[in-house]
Structure 1
Amino acid sequence: MMAVQALAASLKAAKAQPMPLLVLHTDQVSAGVQSRLAADPSLQLRCVDVIPNPHVTDVSGWVNSGFTKLRLWEQVDFEKIVYIDADCLVLENIDELFQRECPAFCPDVFPPDKFNAGVIVLEPSRDVFEEMKDKIAVLPSHDGGDTGFLNAFFPDWYRWPHEQRLPFQYNALRTMYWFTRANPGYWESIQPVKVLHFCSSPKPWDKEAKKGDLEVLWWEHYLKSQVPF
């Protein structure tokens, strides 16, 4: 819940144009959490069925519903969706993503010729969704999660037109910041970061998380989200 609240607050701070903020969730989310999220009038909650992860993984959140993200392609009442993982912050306006060709992804840190599914621009399609479901048990996943599966489903992404290969700044992975702190020029070269992705663990809201610069930024947006509407 905290992640969704912080993300929503960051979108408001970035002055995103008014449009539905769709929150997909499963019945694993408690009624209490749903009620608190529903108190934000900008959020539209939608319960979807779980799609279990067929791969062995040590990431707890991926085990029971790790492939549920694929249901994005099932939301055909929307013409286009800009999807953002809940463990992200939007730091600059990204309305321009709705003008992108679909589907569109950002590069991963490793392997760099793969994409990371934390930010996706897509056009929902029942046909595509059904094809994905049919291939869940067939295609591999290099990371054991949805990103690996989607890379196997869209294996030629690296050769797509540039309009469908988003710059890293639209899904700037925290791991790059960690790996290059000794040479800040790497992180500075991707400025301005438009979407900051707190991939890997611990998350900023975890008790064991260290309060580095990026984590402090996350907490600033979360605290803004707690101001009454």
Structure 2
Amino acid sequence: MADQAFVTLATNDSYARGAMVLGKSLRNHKTSKKLVALIGPQISEPCQAVLKLIFDEVKVVDVLDSGDVAHLAMMNRPDLGVTFTKLHCWTLTHYSKCVFMDADTLVLSNIDDLFEREELSAAPDPGWPDCFNSGVFVFCPSLETHGKLLQYCTEHGSFDGGDQGVLNGFFSTWATADISKHLPFIYNLSSIAIYTYLPAFKQFGSNAKVVHFLGKTKPWSYTYDAKAKQFKGGVSEASAHPTFLLDWWTLFSSAVVPMLQEQYGDQPFHSGCVKDESSTSAAEETESQMSSEDRKKKWEQGQADYMGMDSFDNIKKKLDSFLK
């Protein structure tokens, strides 16, 4: 429908790449809805050009910053202040209903059925399930609601310093008032939550419709060897299930990088796609930097380096060596 849209936000070129992959994933799964990207004024011209090729509407908005250093410091995420810019999405009043999706999400199947839900529908946050995660939510644009949200920010601030604290405070009855506004977790599957309840992921993970790459390490934080299908950089943080990370990079390298190359032309830019020219593997580099005690703690926390030194192949090599 022309008056319904998926909306995302990018305030820098890194998140713009995430938005490009999100937009492509929505297109690949045959969405019938419009695609809208809200972007900060500092997004480079080549990235803006690619976004305009993928999205139906690209709108430059002012970057709002909560300035709430204390609460953001509690979360060790000072970068989340600009997520207040997300509140601009309520000004898109030429649409009757929208689904907001963070730029670090990836669509795995058609999710147009979300538009059957009402405002404010969202999935529980894995860190505190009585709060919803604001990475995916259904809303109805309204200047009145936008004004009330800004007023709420002024009067109450945010309990976490970011948009999620504001939205949970404003839509405070989400946890108790109407179960139909609780989206199933498969519409906003946290890549971190996979490791906190692995049996559930094994049981239900194949039904996932949207994966959300929560945490500091984003898919674009890695470098990727497309030929070897291997990642480098940040692999020990276990921030994403390797299959989902591979899905993201496969789409980015095949569909988005060629578009970026065309727009950048002769200008140099780092795509993150590299050829592995090093004789030392990422696993060996990480292993040499991490003590056995640190590694043990990572395992106990469910953060094994499954793409590097704790991969099946490396464990098998260790066992073979030991048995010999």
Could you tell me the TM-score, scaled by structure 2's length?
A: 0.64
Q: Which has the higher helix share?
A: 2
Pick the aligned partner of 2:51 from 30, 37, 40: 37
**For residues 54-133 of structure 1, what are the structure 2 equivalents within 5 Å?**
54-56=67-69, 57=72, 58-63=76-81, 65-133=82-150
Q: Which amino acid aligns with 1:127?
A: E
Distance in 2, Cα, partners of 1:69 & 1:61: 14
Larger RCO (CA within 8 A; separation ≥ 6): 1
Distance in 2, Cα, partners of 1:88 & 1:105: 14
Moved over 6 A (4+): none
C-alpha deviation, 1:148, in angstroms = 1.2
Correspondence for 2:154: 137
CA contact (8 A) 1:140 1:152 kept: no
CA contact (8 A) 1:54 1:137 kept: no
Correspondence for 1:189: 204
Q: Secondary structure at the match of 1:77?
A: coil
CA contact (8 A) 2:217 2:234 kept: yes
C-alpha deviation, 1:187, in angstroms = 4.6
Q: Which amino acid aligns with 2:178?
A: P
1:3-47 Cα shifts (integer Å, max 9, x gaps): 112111211222212x32100012122223212322x15442101
CA contact (8 A) 2:120 2:171 kept: no
C-alpha deviation, 1:140, in angstroms = 4.4
Could you tell me the TM-score, scaled by structure 1's length?
A: 0.89
Which structure has the larger Rg over C-alpha atoms?
2
Seen in structure 2, the aligned counterparts of structure 1 residues 167 and 21 have a Cα distance that, compared at 3 Å, is same
C-alpha deviation, 1:163, in angstroms = 2.1
Distance in 2, Cα, partners of 1:185 & 1:169: 11
Pick the aligned partner of 2:34 from 20, 27, 31: 20
CA contact (8 A) 1:87 1:198 kept: yes
Q: Which runs of 5+ in 1 are unaligned?
A: none
C-alpha deviation, 1:170, in angstroms = 0.6
Seen in structure 2, the aligned counterparts of structure 1 residues 156 and 28 have a Cα distance that, compared at 3 Å, is same
2:67 aligned with 1:50: no
Give identity over the alignment, percent: 32
